[in-house]
Chains A and B, each alone.
Chain A
Amino acid sequence: MIYQQLINGLMLGASYSLVAIGYTLIFGVLGLLYFAHGEVFMVGAFVGLYLVIHAGANIYMALLGATIATACLGVFAVFAAVRPVSKDYPLAPLISTIGLTIVLQNIATYIFGGQTVAFPETIESILFHFGPVTISSVQIFTLAVAIVLMVLLWLFIENTKMGRAIRATAENHETAALLGVNVNRVVLVTFILASAIAGIAGVLDGVKNSAISPFMGLQVAIKGLVVMLLGGLGNVRGAMVAGILLGMIEILTAAYLGSSMRDFFTFAILILILLYRPTGLFGTRTIEER
């Protein structure tokens, strides 16, 4: 059973990773806790659902549509809740994104209704048996998309000019600006990237759990935050590994100790990390500044 549970953990962890990557990207570049990220994830899931139900889209179209929609939402967030807010008050952008969270959730409840809705089967479910482990085609698909996405993001950040600008901005805003990096554009691209990834993660979550609700964002947001702290603030690679780690911990706790202990372990580990390794498991990129 343990192998099967590890697969379950890997699946859950991959979705945590995708959300946490967005958090950590934005935190790295702006030093901002972007609260509305969980809601972006939820919007992505619903856009995917509507494309499948009303436009008869297949899963690839649904993923693409959700990516575009949430990328636009990212642009909107920058212009509505980040750029107009004065940076002189460190808490102001946090509050404005909390506001955005509430607005998005209320709009979603209004449009989609306050209910859990079924996410239709878009991938034919076939089971593959490998010794004691059973893996479904759905699991393989969601995991593959998550991994491809993470690899692409990694390549983008390490190897492109924009990626370098993002890293430079994350290290130090002013220096990057002085050296000719257009910080405003970097912030915008970061938001687009982070939001698009969250949108894809939302659709994948719908495919994996077969049901979505307008209130799914908050849970995911909290888990994403924990993963970001575990992996190290602003550390993209850290977020990837820490997400998988958290998924494994949660599943193993639920399987062997019971669901009531699920969050206990998550947050106990978080407290220990904050006490003994405040930079997270894999170190923070922005340690000197903060």
Chain B
Amino acid sequence: MKIPVKFVTALAVTVAAFVVAPMIAADAGQLSGRKVRLGAMVPLTEKGAEWGQSSKASMEIAAEEINAAGGIGGLPLEILYYDTRAKESEGLNIINRLAERDKVLAVVGPCFSSLFEIIAPLLDRLQVAMISMCSSKPGLSALSKWALRNTLTSDKQLKPVVAAWAKEYGVKKAVIIHDLEDAVSRAEGSKILPGLLKANGIELLDVLTYRTKDTDFSAQITKAKSLGAQGIAFGSCYQQAAAIAKEAHKQGLKVPMVGGACAGAPGFVTIGGSAAEGAYMSTAAWIDDPRPKVREYVKKIVKKYGKKPPYGGPRAYDNIYALKEIIENSGVTNKSGDLASDREKVRAGFAALKGWNGVAGEITMNEVGDGAGATAILKVVNGQYTNVAK
């Protein structure tokens, strides 16, 4: 029997592709396999979409840069993005999928504390590191050793901001308006802000609430006005905070406002317009930092995303670069049989970051798995966030 030449050639090529190519790839770095896979869960639609979209754009920039410079350990980096729609049920599906079907080395996200809080306890079973770039409700990273957050918790972010706000405007009586359903907003509104107002000698007149899907805030503002509020403190995401600010202006309640983690996104200014003017917001990354690294990042993200991101953007960008370094230097093999030990190495590496120089500042993870880094006191001046921290 004569074997056709074409068949032999095809066979040879196939064998070469399966046997030789991975060897070449393996020679280029110490990693095996065809690519390095990370997962990302971000809210791209509905509540807080600006946080998710800018985080995704930042991670894409990081991945493009890394791949253009030769990838991670010689392999291309692939990030799988999923839209959480900031829904708890969606988040649970996604983390299971990323951990068990997509077999990623680590997961970046989710943005919202509401999601982080319910997923974190599952991580001990799934055994994969979940590294958020925005979640800031205090206490959540302690839920599992696999639950990590490259952010400053909201209490730490807000402390200097409320003090500066109270000092500038001389507020004596204020109301808090917060979201009942969003985890970090609720923590801010019911625990963090009352304490901070008291510490700054401000009388808390009332704590008013709303639900995430509400669009009409007239009742709350009328009440705040009748109580004689001289200031409004938000435990709220940017969309609702902006709508509340506008409603306050419509009712003639033009008082200074202050807000925390989720409110301080650029969307607060774009939606709020003139009603946002003069408001103080906290942040976990100073986007107008003059350091060249930050300038460079801002230039790229503005080009890709169209505007400046909230702090989740730079933190997500940092997460990808930090993961690259950890994967390359902690003995990760990327073999499918080593997935469990690789994931543990990545987790341990991230939890041990100390003084890692990122766009969001020097990142040091503390004992429970929360990060540190640059903060700023943002004030809306002429439709722009300005850092007024000394």
Q: Which residues of A contact B (CB under 8 A)?
A: 1, 4-5, 8, 11-12, 109, 113-118, 120-121, 125, 127, 134, 136, 138-139, 205, 208-211, 213-216, 219, 250-252, 254-255, 258-260, 262
Contact = CB atoms under 8 A, between A and B. Distances in A.
A113 B219 contact: no
Contact of B271 (A4, A117, A138): A117
A259 B214 contact: yes
Nearest to A1: B226
B271 A125 contact: no
B218 interface: yes
Contact of A134 (B219, B243, B249, B252): B252
Given A210-B246, A259-B214, A116 B220 contact: no
B46 A259 contact: no
A41 B164 CA distance: 43
Contact of A121 (B46, B209, B210, B273): B273
Contacts of A1: 222-223, 226
A120, A250, A255: residue with the most chain B Cβ atoms closer than 10 Å: A255
A259 B219 CA distance: 9
Contacts of A216: 215
Among all A-B residue pairs, the 5 with the closest Cβ atoms = A114-B45, A8-B218, A254-B219, A1-B226, A116-B239
Given A134-B252, A250-B219, 14 more contacts: A8-B216, A11-B218, A114-B44, A127-B252, A138-B250, A205-B215, A211-B239, A211-B271, A215-B45, A215-B46, A251-B219, A255-B223, A260-B209, A262-B211
A116 B222 contact: no
Contacts of B270: 118
Q: How large is the interface on B (under 10, 10 to 19, 20 to 34, 35 or more residues)?
A: 35 or more
Contact of A115 (B50, B218, B222): B50
B249 A259 contact: no
B49 interface: yes
A254 B44 CA distance: 30
Nearest to B250: A136
28 contacts: A1-B222, A5-B222, A8-B218, A114-B49, A116-B271, A117-B271, A118-B273, A125-B250, A134-B251, A136-B250, A209-B247, A210-B243, A211-B215, A211-B242, A211-B246, A211-B271, A215-B45, A215-B46, A219-B213, A219-B215, A250-B216, A251-B219, A254-B220, A255-B222, A255-B223, A259-B210, A260-B180, A260-B211
A208 B216 CA distance: 9
Nearest to A205: B215
B267 interface: yes
Contact of B218 (A12, A116, A117): A12
A219 B210 CA distance: 14
Nearest to A11: B218
A173 to B, nearest CB: 37
Given A1-B226, A259-B180, A109 B45 contact: yes
A251 B267 contact: no
A118 B180 contact: no
A136 B219 CA distance: 15
A109 B247 CA distance: 26
Interface string B142-184: 0000000000000000000000000000000000000010000
B53, B211, B219, B246: residue with the most chain A Cβ atoms closer than 10 Å: B219
Contacts of B250: 125, 136, 138-139, 210
A106 to B, nearest CB: 10
Interface in B246-291: 246-247, 249-252, 267, 270-273
A121 B272 CA distance: 11
Interface string B227-252: 00000000000010011001101111
Contacts of B223: 1, 5, 255
Nearest to A120: B273
Given A115-B49, A116-B267, A259-B180, A5 B246 contact: no
A209 B216 contact: yes
B52 to A, nearest CB: 9
Contacts of B243: 209-211
A127 B247 CA distance: 13
Contacts of A250: 216, 219
Contacts of B50: 115
Given A115-B50, A125-B250, A209 B215 contact: yes
Contacts of B49: 113-116
Nearest to B226: A1
B254 to A, nearest CB: 11
